[in-house]
Homo-oligomer: A and B are copies of this chain.
Amino acid sequence: MTPPRSTLRADAQRNREHLIVTAAEAFASGQAISLDAIAKRAGVGTGTLYRHFPTREDLVEEVYRDQIRPLRDDARVLLATEQPAQALHTWMRHFAEWAGERRGICEALVAMSASGRFGTGPVCDEVQQVLGMVLEAGAEAGELRSDIDPVDVGSILAGVLSVAGALEQRAQLDRMLTVVVDGLRPH
């Protein structure tokens, strides 16, 4: 009678970490790359990749887990130096820039939202928390609605990024973000 295990077996843990490192390098190169290719490059079968990361966004979220952290500090700084609504707008712009440099992030966020999983996963959880923080500050200052779910705001952000995330659409994206932030003001 073997007890059910809660932790990963040593080889599985190794494979998982190796996959993340390999994917991170591949994504960082800027080139598009297939998941099969990542598996091959990591020296594991595709089955192994998909067992650890059932969907592409699961892998993407894991790859950028650490890189998202600075955006939280950024939000804190913005809240300290700008009015909340303005800070929200600026942060969203910063996030768009951050996401624009990281292949697969927008698609991942959209997929998480569309499947009702926004907030689960390292990256979108961080986004949700940051948005919650800013929204709260805005509500306290009376500048932003107090009855809005950060998940909804994150989903809208993901949505507009999915249609205007490209660099050459910066101007359009900014106009769209203006609308969104204005829509978050009270009354």
Contacts and interface: CB of A to CB of B under 8 A. Distances in A.
Interface residues of A, number: 34
Chain A residues touching B, majority SS: helix
A156 B176 contact: yes
Interface stretch (A22-30, A40-48, A161-169): A161-169
Contacts of A114: 162-166
Given A159-B159, A159-B160, A160-B159, A152 B166 contact: no
Q: How many copies does the complex hold?
A: 2
Q: Top 4 nearest A-B pairs by Cβ distance?
A: A183-B183, A159-B159, A113-B163, A179-B183
A164 B172 contact: no
Given A114-B163, A158-B159, 16 more contacts: A110-B163, A118-B163, A151-B172, A152-B175, A155-B172, A155-B176, A159-B159, A159-B161, A159-B176, A178-B183, A179-B180, A179-B183, A180-B180, A180-B183, A182-B183, A183-B183
A116 interface: yes
